[in-house]
A and B are shown apart, each in its own frame.
Chain A
Amino acid sequence: MTELQAGQAAAVPRIETQSQRTRYRDLLIALAAFVVLASLPMFFGSKALLDFVIRCSAFGLFATSLNLLVGYTGMISFGHGMFFGLGAYGFGLIMQRTGVPVPVAFVATLVITTVVATAIGAICVRLKEIYFAFVTLAFQMLIHSTILSWASLTGGDQGLRGGIKRPVFLGIDLSNHVHLYITSCALLVIGLLLMRQIAQSPFGYTLRMIRDNANRASFIGIDVWRAKLTIFVLAALFASTGGIIMALFVSGAYPEFAYWTISGEGIFINMLGGVTTFLGPMVGTVLLLTLNDTVTRLTEYYGIVLGIVILFFAVGLRKGLMDFVVEWFAQRRDGAGERAP
């Protein structure tokens, strides 16, 4: 054993314990967040607040999964919303047509999403930057127009109406508002925790490398196409879960869920919150939904206000809110460090 190998052997276990510690820390934060969220209904009886959190769970999962593509891998998908729509329609249809238990429908929807995402991803991930953005957009519109034209199955432009039956399973009754709320929170927290694991895993670092220099990644023997396809499918699964929450929440599915604006909003949420931190998209979701609710109450010209806010972030700040906060903290810490000695 050379000196170098001996050094490595000593270094490896230390890294492992460190990553294990991060993992425990993430798990603890997730548990704490879930406990706080789950205890909210006991203190606040307001239905509006619970509704808000449910919508945040749906869009938060969607936006964070988009960040796995945009922020971590550098794949700007402009059609990620198709999986949100697919989740909502898939779940709604399975529940309406077959009446299987909720968990079965949930898993079945994810299986369908995997199949569709693999097929679409296999075509898309070969393409670079702007071509990738367009082709994903085109697929989104293809799914949207399929939903509109296949009226006998999807209800066309009316959407999936008539409500989704939600039989009780394991004592959980999703037609009960609080039960639905707790379930969404649980899905959100588990989803975020899983995505965090993906982002911090060696695979997550492979993705960052592909983002920074795909050629170099390819030189050291990484199958870039396969890695991109894998994350494309994984991200689709979480987006689909967001769609399922949305379908449960509105008890139906509408063509707007699969329209391109959902993808546009997802990108915007990422921008708003910042793509360099894991929780940036979650912060962006809360911001956008708050903005959405306030502006639509005040004016009918929602687009103008939203557009100006986007411009402020894109041209003015040039970064998301969380990027800004993180940098501000770093500067403060460095500043304090300089003064201390």
Chain B
Amino acid sequence: MDLDALTGCLASSACLVTQTTSGFIIGMLLFLVAVGLTLIFGVLKVVNFSHGAFYMFGAYFAMTAYQFTGSFALAMLCGAVGTALLGLVFERVFMSRVYGRDVLMQLLVCYAFVLIFDDVVRMIWGPEFKSMGMPAAFQVMPLFIAGGVVPPYYLLLIGVALTMALILGLGLARTKIGKVIRAAAHNPGMVSALGINTGLIYGGVFALGGMLAGLAGALAAPVRSLTPGMGFSVLIESFIVTVIGGMGSILGALIGALLIGMIRSFGSLGFPLFTEGLMYLFMVIVLVARPTGLFGKEVA
């Protein structure tokens, strides 16, 4: 425990800015993964335990695309589209078979894929740590805000994530597709009776969730190291985010992700060895106070 470092940081504006930025990017990456998780849960009523694998695939797809084309934009696109397709196939072929069955079955199918996907990545890209490297366009002088260092890439990352949050929030609330998705979450039988292909909606939502996780992985690839199994810690953290924010709530995912980001960022100063423990502790406190999470509705 190092509380002096924490209070020292809180007193200096430079450190405050640096830590807040780092908290923001942790939070934003987590948000992209968690919002897919929460969306899939809200509509399909399954918990995608293999969601972390999509994050991992997004990162690896982006790295490979970047190595071949050298284009950063194409790498992001590859990461997002590749995982969206993967999500669609995974949902149609496997997950659609376990809807309505007990939670145990759904967890098991996902658990099987966590094992399989990790080994597939190990087979294709090898077990060692990989790194994509920062694209040339972002290898410029970092910005200095109030004495704190902020790399421009971080701003892009935060911008993309916030844009996604906005598109999702507005898309679900205002557009026709958004309404259909919300209706399918509420009463799939009725939606299908009205002549709407619910299978397509389910596949689409799963693909969307996969895409968001893939995008998070692709965005994280330049600033994190890539390894098989990298998805799992992200998965656990995004579970914490969704549980804190409330299952099925997009706003909850955003707030939860930012809270966890800040806890991780500032916690690593004050409690360097117990940062992860802090997150679990926070989750427990939230759950004891509000079992359905901060923004969750009572599940019947």
Option from B108, B115, B284 in Cβ contact (under 8 Å) with A138: B284
A200 at the binding interface (Cβ < 8 Å): no
A128 at the binding interface (Cβ < 8 Å): yes
B194 at the binding interface (Cβ < 8 Å): no
User: What's the tally of chain A residues with a CB closer than 8 Å to chain B?
Assistant: 41
Q: Give chain A residues whose Cβ lies under 8 Å from the Cβ of B247.
A: 130-131
Q: Give chain A residues whose Cβ lies under 8 Å from the Cβ of B109.
A: 310-311, 314-315
Please report which residues of chain A, range 7-46, place their CB below 8 angstroms from some CB of chain B when the two chains form the complex: none
Q: Give chain B residues whose Cβ lies under 8 Å from the Cβ of A70.
A: 104
Is B276 within 8 A of A141, CB to CB? yes
B277-294 interface mask toward A, CB cutoff 8 Å, 1 = contact, 0 = none?
100110110011001100
Between A and B, 20 residue pairs with Cβ closer than 8 Å are A76-B104, A133-B107, A134-B239, A134-B243, A135-B283, A137-B239, A139-B280, A139-B284, A141-B276, A142-B276, A142-B277, A267-B104, A271-B108, A304-B115, A306-B115, A307-B112, A307-B115, A311-B109, A313-B108, A315-B109
State A127–B103 Cα separation when bound (angstroms): 14
Option from B115, B240, B277, B284 in Cβ contact (under 8 Å) with A303: B115
Q: Give chain B residues whose Cβ lies under 8 Å from the Cβ of A327.
A: none
Option from A135, A139, A301, A314 in Cβ contact (under 8 Å) with B243: A135
CB distance from B173 to the nearest CB of A (A): 25
A149-B274 contact, Cβ under 8 Å, with A134-B239, A271-B108: yes
Is B105 within 8 A of A314, CB to CB? yes
B146 at the binding interface (Cβ < 8 Å): no
Closest-by-CB residue of B relative to A271 is: B108
Q: Give chain B residues whose Cβ lies under 8 Å from the Cβ of A137.
A: 236, 239
State A141–B277 Cα separation when bound (angstroms): 8
State A135–B118 Cα separation when bound (angstroms): 24
Option from A135, A308, A314, A315 in Cβ contact (under 8 Å) with B284: A135
A123 at the binding interface (Cβ < 8 Å): yes
Please report which residues of chain A, range 247-294, place their CB below 8 angstroms from some CB of chain B when the two chains form the complex: 260, 264, 267-268, 271
State A173–B28 Cα separation when bound (angstroms): 56
Is A141 within 8 A of B236, CB to CB? yes
State A303–B113 Cα separation when bound (angstroms): 9
CB distance from A165 to the nearest CB of B (A): 28
State A310–B240 Cα separation when bound (angstroms): 26
B97 at the binding interface (Cβ < 8 Å): yes
Is A267 within 8 A of B122, CB to CB? no
Is A314 within 8 A of B108, CB to CB? yes
Please report which residues of chain A, range 117-168, place their CB below 8 angstroms from some CB of chain B when the two chains form the complex: 123, 126-131, 133-135, 137-139, 141-142, 145-146, 149-151
State A140–B243 Cα separation when bound (angstroms): 16
CB distance from B163 to the nearest CB of A (A): 29
A78 at the binding interface (Cβ < 8 Å): yes
User: What's the tally of chain B residues with a CB closer than 8 Å to chain A?
Assistant: 39
A264-B111 contact, Cβ under 8 Å, with A142-B281, A315-B98: yes
The winner among B98, B111, B123, B276 for most chain A CB atoms within 10 A is: B111
Q: Is the interface of B mostly helix, strand, loop or mixed?
A: helix
Please report which residues of chain B, range 56-113, place their CB below 8 angstroms from some CB of chain A when the two chains form the complex: 94, 97-98, 103-105, 107-109, 111-113
Option from B47, B98, B112 in Cβ contact (under 8 Å) with A310: B112
CB distance from A245 to the nearest CB of B (A): 25
Q: Give chain B residues whose Cβ lies under 8 Å from the Cβ of A128.
A: 299
Is A304 within 8 A of B239, CB to CB? no
CB distance from B89 to the nearest CB of A (A): 14
Is B123 within 8 A of A301, CB to CB? yes
B196 at the binding interface (Cβ < 8 Å): no
State A70–B236 Cα separation when bound (angstroms): 22
B145 at the binding interface (Cβ < 8 Å): no
Q: Give chain A residues whose Cβ lies under 8 Å from the Cβ of B94.
A: 311, 315
State A282–B120 Cα separation when bound (angstroms): 31
Is A303 within 8 A of B116, CB to CB? yes
Is A127 within 8 A of B287, CB to CB? yes
Q: Give chain A residues whose Cβ lies under 8 Å from the Cβ of B274.
A: 145-146, 149
Q: Closest 7 interchain pairs by CB?
A: A303-B115, A149-B273, A307-B116, A310-B112, A142-B280, A303-B119, A307-B115
